[in-house]
Amino acid sequence: MIRLYDYLESGNGYKVRLLLHQLEIPFERVELDITRGATRTPEFLAMNPNGRIPLLELEDGSRLAESNAIQFYLAEGTPLLPGDRLERSRVLQWMFFEQYSHEPYIAVLRFWVHTGAAEGMDEAVLQEKREKGHAALAVMESHLAERDFFVADAYSVADISLYAYTHVADQGGFDLAPYPALRAWIERVRAQPRHISITHPC
């Protein structure tokens, strides 16, 4: 059986969990508490030298890291990844946007609030995270103003990738009120068959 090294609060882990559930692929979940260094042990670093979850382990023992690469692998040949060459690359475009322009602000601020780290922090550092996070949300809002989903007008792993931290952005202090198209898209993602919540262990 496929094994997923995971952390239930992680949006990056949730991307893979949600996708596996929607694709009806059975898997075993191994919970690792990243707030207690569980991904920095010698045993885990031997499996993923970058020391991060999610990490997927296939039945033959081969492993794949990085939430969006894992999603691309799992969604291949399913309706959640377009077959067209340009559309597949657009899915990747939004996934790279997510990891570079969205996650480092929206997910990190949520993590800092969650762990209490935000409390002692320099206000200028928090403010920069907020501004760049809102810039990412504004890019999403303008794209969704004319579309139901991110790529090819169909629900895909690009939507899962961006949904993972956007729908809990409020937990990092982001108010989504100024983004009506984005809020409507969140509801559309939530309405997909076999949707699960972020802390659903499957």
Residues forming contacts to its own copies in the complex (CB under 8 A) are 49-50, 58, 62, 64-70, 72-73, 76, 85-86, 88-90, 92-93, 95-97, 99-101, 103-104, 139, 142-143
What count of residues does the chain have?
202
Q: Give the nearer residue to its own copies in terms of CB position, either 17 or 143.
A: 143
Provide the minimum distance between the beta carbon of 193 and its own copies in the complex, in angstroms, as a whole number.
25
Provide the minimum distance between the beta carbon of 181 and its own copies in the complex, in angstroms, as a whole number.
13
User: Within 116-178, where are the H helices?
Assistant: 123-144, 157-166
Provide the minimum distance between the beta carbon of 52 and its own copies in the complex, in angstroms, as a whole number.
8
Provide the minimum distance between the beta carbon of 191 and its own copies in the complex, in angstroms, as a whole number.
26
146 backbone φψ class: left, alpha, beta (φ>0; ψ -120 to 50)? alpha
Q: Give the nearer residue to its own copies in terms of CB position, either 1 or 191.
A: 1
Q: Give the nearer residue to its own copies in terms of CB position, either 38 or 196.
A: 38
Distance of alpha carbon 141 from alpha carbon 139, whole angstroms: 5
Distance of alpha carbon 154 from alpha carbon 148, whole angstroms: 7
**Quick one: which of 30, 25, 52 has its CA closest to 201?**
30
Q: Give the nearer residue to its own copies in terms of CB position, either 73 or 176.
A: 73
Provide the minimum distance between the beta carbon of 29 and its own copies in the complex, in angstroms, as a whole number.
20
Q: Give the nearer residue to its own copies in terms of CB position, either 32 or 157.
A: 157
Distance of alpha carbon 74 from alpha carbon 16, whole angstroms: 9
Residue 195 C-beta-side C-alpha neighbours within 13 Å: 15
Distance of alpha carbon 155 from alpha carbon 186, whole angstroms: 11
Instruction: Report whether 63 contacts 9 (CB < 8 A).
Output: no
